[in-house]
Copies of this chain bind each other. A is one copy, B any other.
Amino acid sequence: MRPTSPHARNPLPPAVSSSLRQRFGARFSQGESILAQHGRDESIHPTAAPDGVVFVESTQEVVEVAQLCRQHRVPMIAFGSGSSVEGQVLATAGGITISLGRMNRILATRAADLDATVEAGVTRLQLNAALKGSGLFFPIDPGADASLGGMAATRASGTNAVRYGTMRDNVLGLTAVLADGRILRCGGRARKSAAGYDLTRLLIGSEGTLAIITELTLRLQPLPEAMSAAVCAFSSVAGAVDTVIETIQAGIPVARVELLDRLTLAAVNRYSGTALKELPTLFFEFHGSPAAVTEQAEAVQAIAGDHGGEDFSWATHAEERTRLWQARHHAYFACLQLRPGHRAFPTDVCVPISRLAECIGETSDDIARVSIPVALFGHVGDGNFHLVVLVDPANGQDLQEADWINERVVERALAMAGTCSGEHGIGLGKTRFMLREHGAEAMAVMRAIKDALDPDHLLNPGKMLPPA
């Protein structure tokens, strides 16, 4: 949103480009369209192109690039699928973007251990396609078909997190390349370990600022024997949120529970041709044995009834369920159509669930005060919700309003013991909230770790940590 901080941008030393061209041939590019394509993501930050892109094919190649960049003090930016939403992959200080998209081999899947080892460029849909027939799946589902390396680097989650956790919980081990080219292997394949500092968790969510993740070992989940879905409209957001709180307190292991606000419902109906009531609405999914799934849905229906839920409707057949959840998954694109030709400025926060109704209520009041459309939906079981603010990036007032909404929702979440991002991360867009969220001591510790691991600040400079 805000103008990105002016980063010192040194010209790329000719020795670097000539070395990379010689070593990687056509897999090193300085073509303008390639540079531009790697200088943006799904955020509305203006493109900041790197000076060159290397399409690596192995961890060893990342080592070589890192050694060269370090020798010449050139920034290195890891790039997966480019689907980040806070400017994580933008080359605001120039340098070399390391595209991991060609490192897309699934190295092993081990059904007995419910794990798989993949290269960082493998996407979540690719992995799930490869798992077809194995009885297993990988549950983490951010909106985009992101690369698994990028998902680890941003600590991604999605609609299944209430049941299966986030990337934090589903990565067993990592291979990563440090700023000086050393290969770090951390974690392993044991389900748990009490041996040593948790370097795996340190790299997850570090947005390429501590190391470049090249391989991951992931936990897989057994495909549930049965699934069912349900949808239920409420006259108020509070009734919906209270339904979710009571569901979770009752220990009902709901697999997904998503809240969509009125505006999002209207957008979804228009986009997906559904005829859902245009009210605050919960989408549920239940996983388990056929009997367990029925029992869970009945229990939730009763709870929803106590909180003003209307027309609780079930979808047990695969097609119905898919239709319903596709409508949910397309909510983002549906919202884009609320103002065709405009861009989406997405933001997300997460609060303790007891404050969620209040947080959403006050945010809805803010939304009513601006001229631009703002859709609200999210992973209500975790206390996490998104805003999709539709702006014309050339219109100053739009940007100002979007900025105001974002600032307000983050401040509100922080005041409610929440976080400035539940799953989108920090990138460029939220660095200014880091100090407010974490305080001076935690920021000093984060900086100390950054200095210890990347003393020259070559890895994804300008991201995550605000200027000191």
Contacts and interface: CB of A to CB of B under 8 A. Distances in A.
Interface stretch (A71-79, A197-205, A331-339): A197-205
A197 B206 contact: yes
Nearest to A287: B251
B191 A350 contact: yes
A195 B419 contact: yes
Nearest to A86: B194
A295 interface: yes
A168 interface: yes
Contacts of A421: 193-195
Interface string A216-227: 000001111100
Contacts of A453: 445, 448-449
Contact of A382 (B192, B223, B383, B451): B192
Nearest to A222: B251
B196 A422 contact: no
Interface in A76-90: none
Contacts of A256: none
A206 B206 CA distance: 19
B195 A434 contact: yes
A417 B194 contact: no
A194 B425 contact: yes
A442 interface: yes
A199 B446 contact: yes
Contact of A291 (B223, B295, B430): B295
Contacts of A289: 292, 295, 299
Contact of A111 (B111, B183, B224, B249): B249
A133 to B, nearest CB: 14
Interface stretch (A16-24, A118-126, A149-157, A274-282): A149-157
A65 B266 CA distance: 60
Interface string A420-443: 111111100010011001110110
Contacts of A295: 289, 291-292
A210 B384 CA distance: 31
A245 interface: yes
B452 A191 contact: no
A186 interface: yes
A157 B191 CA distance: 12
Contacts of A353: 112-113, 191
B441 A183 contact: yes
Interface in A157-191: 157, 161, 165-166, 168-169, 178, 182-186, 188-191
A115 B354 CA distance: 11
Given A112-B353, A182-B444, A249-B135, A198 B202 contact: yes
A311 to B, nearest CB: 25
A464 interface: yes
Contacts of A222: 248-251
Nearest to A247: B222
A46 interface: no
Interface in A101-125: 110-115
8 contacts: A114-B248, A166-B192, A168-B201, A178-B445, A190-B422, A196-B438, A223-B251, A251-B287
Interface of A: 110-115, 135-136, 154-157, 161, 165-166, 168-169, 178, 182-186, 188-199, 201-202, 204-206, 210, 221-225, 245, 248-251, 253, 287-289, 291-292, 295, 299, 350-354, 382-384, 413, 417-426, 430, 433-434, 437-439, 441-442, 444-446, 448-449, 451-453, 464
Given A112-B249, A190-B418, A192-B419, 13 more contacts: A168-B192, A189-B352, A190-B352, A190-B413, A193-B419, A194-B423, A194-B424, A194-B425, A195-B425, A197-B464, A225-B251, A291-B291, A449-B449
